[in-house]
Amino acid sequence: MAVTLKDIARECGVSYSTVSKALKDSPLVTEATKRKIKEKAEQMNYIPNNSARSLVSNRSNTIGLIWPAVDRVAITTLASQINQALKKEGYFMVVSIEDPITAAQKFLELRFDGVIVFDEGEHTTLPTKITKNIPVVAYGVERELDYPIINVNHDLAMKQAIDALIHKGYHQVDYFGDLHTNDIRQIVKKDTFIRHCKQRRITYRMVDSGGLSEESASRAMKSFLANHDLNGGVVCGSYDITMGLLHHVKDTKQTPMIFSYDHIDQFNSIDTPIHSVGVPSHFIAQKLVDVLVDTIETNKVNRSVIQLKPQINYR
């Protein structure tokens, strides 16, 4: 059915290994024959069979991204930047929204060259059985894993945000984020916020967003505002949570200074100025790709945790 190298070879009156070489621009073939073969291939609509290729070369040039919760804006931005970065390195990225183990197992069967996983804690950890068979790199937080992890230095980020608030004259700060969760990234944000407030001896309140979605954050903020004022500075745990808060910011006497996690461009198209802390997502993406490609090519994993330095972005 599909056109194969043999078909092209027959048409061109050459052997199929010559076609194979010609199509990958091998110097072992005359320019003239190359041209003829390429033309014919194009015209016959030849589509290389990756299964066959991968079988002999052990390379699929495909990377799997594991992303079970396709719903948070900041992560969406990161994903598309990873896609770009991988493309530049010659890889095709494909994402699975299955649970991490299922997805990784399938990627393994498909003989992909590597996997990137958005780590969210225990339930998202890949077992050695899998990770010893394929290069893996995680975007997550610092913890014991047998594959490399890229993450933001949350501790520093919180410190930067709180210090900025103090510097602007605030004597009280609120944290608005997901307080009751297993998501390790959220837990770290919460914990470091508290720790830094204590160190600075500044008054603080913790407001539970009841989840990571904009909707839940909106509800939570509404009921919070029914009994409280927003009179200090506020730090939000994520872009979506910030958006939930913004539904109600009109209700308060005056807009407080808001710092949000996630360093993405979307903040620029909002009227209310939201300052942000975080690592620019294109930077995170590049790092993830660099580390992955490196472990694919050198074939040695380094079980390191790479901390990316956050920046403050005033708007």
Partner DNA sequence: TTGTAAGCGTTATCAA
Partner DNA sequence: TTGATAACGCTTACAA
SS3 label, residue 109: helix
The stretches of the chain forming alpha helices (DSSP H) are 5-12, 16-23, 31-43, 50-57, 73-88, 100-109, 128-131, 154-167, 184-200, 214-227, 239-246, 281-298
Nearest residue to 249 (alpha-carbon basis) of 186, 176, 309, 187: 176
In whole angstroms, give the CA distance from residue 210 to residue 180: 7
In whole angstroms, give the CA distance from residue 135 to residue 29: 35
Binders of DNA: how many residues, by CB under 7 A? 28
Tell me whether residue 95 or residue 305 sits nearer to its own copies (CB atom).
Answer: 95
Distance in Å, CB of 219 to its own copies, minimum = 6
In whole angstroms, give the CA distance from residue 68 to residue 95: 9
- Cβ atoms of 139 and 78 closer than 8 Å: yes
43 binds DNA (CB under 7 A): no
Which residue in 73, 166, 225, 301 binds its own copies (CB under 8 A)? Answer: 73
44 binds its own copies (CB under 8 A): no
23 binds DNA (CB under 7 A): yes
The dihedral formed by the CA atoms of 264, 279, 177 and 265, expressed in degrees to the nearest 10: -10
In whole angstroms, give the CA distance from residue 170 to residue 163: 10
Among its own copies, DNA, none, partner that 106 touches (CB below 5 to 8 angstroms by kind): its own copies
What is the gyration radius of the CA atoms in the chain, in angstroms? 25
SS3 label, residue 137: strand
Which residue in 167, 250, 253, 300 binds its own copies (CB under 8 A)? Answer: 250
Which residue in 35, 39, 43, 52 binds DNA (CB under 7 A)? Answer: 52
Distance in Å, CB of 129 to DNA, minimum = 16
Which residue in 24, 167, 201, 250 binds DNA (CB under 7 A)? Answer: 24
In whole angstroms, give the CA distance from residue 152 to residue 35: 50
48 binds DNA (CB under 7 A): yes
Which residue in 172, 255, 266, 307 binds its own copies (CB under 8 A)? Answer: 266
In whole angstroms, give the CA distance from residue 238 to residue 72: 9
Binders of its own copies: how many residues, by CB under 8 A? 53
Which residue in 30, 128, 133, 199 binds DNA (CB under 7 A)? Answer: 30
Tell me whether residue 25 or residue 42 sits nearer to its own copies (CB atom).
Answer: 42
Q: Under the rule (CB under 7 A), what is the footprint of DNA?
A: 2, 4-6, 13-18, 20-21, 23-24, 28-30, 32-33, 46-49, 52-53, 55-57
Q: Under the rule (CB under 8 A), what is the footprint of its own copies?
A: 2, 45, 47-52, 54-55, 60, 62, 64, 70-71, 73, 76, 79-80, 83, 87, 92-98, 105-106, 108-111, 129, 133, 213-216, 218-219, 222, 243, 246-248, 250-251, 266, 269-271
